[in-house]
């Protein structure tokens, strides 16, 4: 079965995010005063082949832990899509 993982990686809440601060300041300068916080992260799409959704989930989890996210300073979450629907 073919699956697509959509991975979102963001800095942990306790980690400084200079990019997020810059974007927040830019939005405020443009008049978006309602913005309280901005965190800038990464969006990664991975297409993979797996026997089951369980196997696909395990493989994507391993990819995130080993390469896609730095577990010391980043959090991640992902969704899996396959021909039959979407799984979180």
CA distances 9 to 2, 39, 57, 68, Å, are 23, 10, 16, 8
Nearest to 46 by CA among 3, 5, 78, 1: 5
Nearest to 81 by CA among 56, 59, 44: 56
Euclidean distance between CA atoms 4 and 37, whole angstroms: 30
**pTM of the predicted model as reported, rounded to 2 decimal places:** 0.84
Per-residue pLDDT of the chain (88 residues; tens, 9 = 90+): 999 999 999 999 999 999 999 999 999 999 999 999 999 999 999 999 999 999 999 999 999 999 999 999 999 999 999 865 555 5
SS3 79: strand
- Which domains does the chain show, CATH number per domain? 2-87 (3.30.1280.10)
């Amino acid at each position: 079965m073919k699956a697509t993982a959509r991975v979102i990686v963001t800095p942990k809440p306790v980690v400084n995010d200079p990019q997020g601060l810059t974007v927040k300041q830019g939005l405020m300068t443009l008049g978006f005063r309602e913005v309280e916080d901005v965190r800038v992260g990464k969006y990664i799409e991975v297409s993979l082949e797996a026997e089951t959704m369980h196997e696909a989930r395990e493989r994507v989890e391993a990819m995130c832990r080993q390469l896609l996210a730095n577990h010391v300073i980043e959090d991640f979450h992902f969704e899996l899509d396959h021909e039959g629907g979407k799984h979180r």
